[in-house]
Structure 1
Amino acid sequence: MNKQKISEESVQEIVSCLKNNGIAIFPTDTVYGIGAVYNNPEGIDRIYEAKQRDRSKPIIALISDISHLHKLISFEEEDLGNISEIMKKYWPGELTIVFDNSKYNVAEDNTIGVRIPGDEILLRIIESCGGIVFTTSANISGEKSPVKTQDISYDILEKTDFILDGGTILNGVPSTVIKYSAGKISVLREGNIKTGEILKLFMRRAEKK
């Protein structure tokens, strides 16, 4: 377990850790997350083990840019167009969108949640790791999502290769989560982004068609 405060050197070290198939804890724009690069299936297994998380509960993909979305899901351009305005408005930001037809086995129902975070340092880390990092909140399943490293269970810390300490995250609210399937959206969790705003934007798009 290697814990360091944010610096240019520590950012390079966490990138090296992730690219060499390690798992790491880092601050996001919502809560602390634990993650692994997208092409590290053993790392994904270690995350589930560290969190004591059931494999039926998916983790999400943080991407550095929308151009990486095609690496994660299979879609037709017109299907993506139905939700493009929502992505443009809320990404980067605190909105996770769950898509069908995942190219990676991170959920039993073949879905995947995707988000572009708003934290600039985290975006640098993700881009340096190929543009995609699979992640979930750095807490034992069922416990409160951590807003500082002192909140994180030692059971998780000792199973992690690197911890990037960014102090206390003032937000502390997990992202809003919606699901986009068959041209429709449904609300799975509400965070700081109010789902009523999202639904209105989606309906306006539908009315224009």
Structure 2
Amino acid sequence: MSEVINTEVHNAFEVIKNGGIILYPTDTVWGIGCDATNPEAIKKIFAIKQREETKSMIVLTNGERMMYNVFNEIPEVAWQILDLSEKPTTLILDNPRNVAENVIAEDKTLGVRMVKEPFCYKLMERMKKPLVSTSANISGEPTPKSFKEISPEIIKGVDYVVNLHHDKICDKPSTIIKLTNDSQVKIIRK
């Protein structure tokens, strides 16, 4: 299995380093992604999803080092939430840096999720950058629970479809919690 993952990581990396867009399985649902530091690639994702560019997307990281590369300041409560979470959790944090401006929300926040899922983890290890992650659907349509539910329009719009977990069913997206640097906590999605 790890040989298949390594091949897919290699293929996805080659596409991403050239500004391309991938369709890939995350630790939650199927996502559309690219290099989070590439504003042109991010624009392509907005176009594929037919989504307003004022709506923000999240990024995935593969550990504390990458988290601190994206956020200079991470509230202590963020680490406590991540330690206690029993399911994938996206945190919305203040004042991101070292990512493209068009992935940051108007209020200068960014949603981020640290993943351990082998494909995503290894891909970011190779990229040495965070990965954009947004659900693989046209804006306003339901989030697909499996690869079979992804619209042909999305599949045709990306540059590479990762050949892993096509039979996996994802029951739901991550929990989303907004944390401010002054320690305010707001649950956006359970």
Q: Which residue of 2 aligns with 1:36?
A: 34
**Contact 1:25 / 1:138 at 8 angstroms: preserved in 2?**
yes
In structure 2, what is the equivalent of residue 88 of structure 1? Answer: 83
**Take 2:113 and 2:58, find their aligned partners in 1: how far apart are those partners?**
8
In structure 2, runs of 5+ residues without a counterpart are none
Q: Using the TM superposition, give the Cα deviation of residue 15 of structure 1 relative to its aligned residue in structure 2, in angstroms.
A: 1.5
1:147 to 145, 162, 171: 145
> Do the aligned partners of 1:62 and 1:117 also contact (CA within 8 Å) in 2?
yes
Residue 102 (1) aligns with residue 96 (2): yes
Tell me the alpha carbon deviations over residues 137-182 of structure 1, each in whole angstroms, 9 at most, x when there is no partner.
1110111212332211222222210001321333330100000012
Which residue of the partner structure matches residue 203 of structure 1? Answer: none
Once the two structures are TM-superposed, the CA of residue 116 in structure 1 deviates from its matched residue by 1.2
Describe the shift of the 1:55–1:8 C-alpha distance in structure 2 as closer, same or farther (beyond 3 A): same
Q: Map residues 17-36 of structure 1 onto 2, 5 A cutoff.
A: 17-36=15-34
2:110 to 109, 112, 123: 112
CA contact (8 A) 2:30 2:136 kept: yes
How far, CA to CA, are the matches of 2:167 and 2:85 in structure 1?
A: 23
After superposition, give the CA deviation of every residue in 1:69-88 in whole Å (9 maximum; x if it has no partner): 1222232xxx6223321123
**8 Å contact kept, 1:65–1:131:** no
TM-score normalised by length of structure 1: 0.80
SS of match in other structure, 1:170? coil
Aligned amino acid, residue 22 of structure 1: G
Aligned 8 A contact 1:35 1:134 in 2: yes
Instruction: Name the aligned partner's letter for residue 52 of structure 1.
Output: Q
Counterpart of 1:188 in structure 2 is 188
Which range moved further: 31-40 or 151-160? 151-160
Which of these two proteins has the greater Rg computed from alpha carbons?
Answer: 1
Cα deviation digits, residues 61-110 of structure 1 (max 9, x gap)? 100112111222232xxx6223321123339x510000011224222221
Q: Output the aligned Cα RMSD.
A: 1.8
Structure 1: segments with no counterpart, 5+ residues: 1-5, 191-209
- Aligned equivalents of 1:57, 1:121: Cα separation in 2: 26
The ranges of structure 1 where at least 4 consecutive aligned residues each deviate by more than 4 angstroms after the TM superposition are none
1:61-76 superposed matches below 5 A:
61-75=59-73
Query: Hey, what does 1:164 align to over in structure 2?
Result: 162
1:129 — aligned with what?
127
Amino acid in the other structure paired with 2:125? E
TM-score (norm 2): 0.87
Give the AA of the match of 2:188: L
